Structure formats: structure tokens, C-alpha cells
Amino acid sequence: MPKRRADAVRNRRLALDAAMALLAEPGTPLTVEAIATRAGLGAATVVRTFGGKDALLDAAVSRLLEPVVRRARDLRAVLPPYQALRTFLGELIAFQAAHHAVNHELGGLHLPATTALRAELVEAVTDMLDGARREGAVRDDLDPEVVTVLISETALAVARALPGAQGLGEAYLTVLLDGLRPRVSDGGTG
């Protein structure tokens, strides 16, 4: 049980805040050096505190993702499934657009905490889809698991392209949700 000095605790938070800030800014290098400078620390301190750059990013991304997961659960608890889905997707796209570095630079990294949170997000969306399907608001002639993947991947792509195309988010939600409507021959029970 090692003693933890107060300045170490403070610096850990500074590094985390700096990393989160850089993740929200496009075109920034996202190097240890950049994070350390932003935090007013030395690069060595930043790395040592977290045990490596990857662990730092894992922690930072997790902190960014936590409120999103919470929001998904809240919406699912408060709104009917279809409305929850529509609302959440809109917010998710906005969040990803504001933090696209989160998804852009982190492709080939193994970040345990982040991966776990993503799984929770997927679970929440899956639940919303299930509910919407039972309501008859979403077609049931497609593999639910595939639809979940479809939404996750396309929503991310749309978010990435959002800054360059006005109205893309709205068009995406419109096309996606209309495309997910039951076909006339479907057996919606709502």
C-alpha cells in the first residue's frame, strides 16, 4: 500500500483534464508532450502517473464516455423506446462530433475501460431497439444484432463528417429511422 502524496493526486487530475481537452480539439497532435504541456507538467510525470500513454487515454476517454452511458440509461428509463432511440442517437452524434478525436486516433488501441463502456452503450441501444421493435415502431425482418452494428458504425461515421456538412445529422436520422420503419408486410403488433 503505497502512500499517495497530495501533489500526485492533483497532477493526475490535471493530466486527465488536459487529455480530455485535447480529445475534444480536432487537429491536435495528442502526444504525451502536448498533453503534458497543456497540463503544465513534464511528459515523464504524465506517463509515470498512468503507467503509459494508453492507460492515460483509456482513463480520459472513459471519463468522456461515462455521462453518455448515463444519459442513454436515463432516456431508456424515461421515454418510450422509439423516442428514446431517436433522441439518444441525435445526442450521440453530437457528442461524437464534438470529440471525434476519440474515435479517430484510437482505432488500433486496446483500452479496457473504454471498451467496457462502449459495450454498455451498445447494450443500451440494443434495448431501445428491442423495445421499439415490440412497439411496432421498428421493422423486425432484420437481424437485431446486425442492426445494432449498423447503427453504431454509421452513427460514428456521420459524426466524423458532421463538421463539413450542414444538416447531415438530421438527414441521417431521417433516412435511418425511416429505413428502420416496418414494411407494410411486416407484423407490427403496436
Rounded CA gap, 125 and 90, in Å?
12
| Least Cβ distance, residue 85 to DNA (angstroms) | 37
Q: Which of 20, 51, 49, 19 is nearest to 32 (CA)?
A: 19
Q: Which CB atom, from 52 or from 67, has the smaller least distance to DNA?
A: 52
Report which DSSP code applies to 91. Answer: H
Rounded CA gap, 159 and 43, in Å?
31
Q: Which does 67 bind (CB under 5 to 8 A by kind): a second copy, DNA, none?
A: none
Q: Which CB atom, from 70 or from 174, has the smaller least distance to a second copy?
A: 174
Question: Considering only residues 13, 24, 26, 33, which one is a binding residue for DNA as defined by CB under 7 A?
Answer: 33
Q: Which does 107 bind (CB under 5 to 8 A by kind): a second copy, DNA, none?
A: a second copy
Q: Which CB atom, from 45 or from 152, has the smaller least distance to a second copy?
A: 152
Q: Which CB atom, from 43 or from 122, has the smaller least distance to DNA?
A: 43
Residues 45-84 touching DNA, rule: CB under 7 A, are 45, 47-49, 52-54
Binding site for DNA (CB under 7 A): 2-8, 11, 29-33, 40-45, 47-49, 52-54
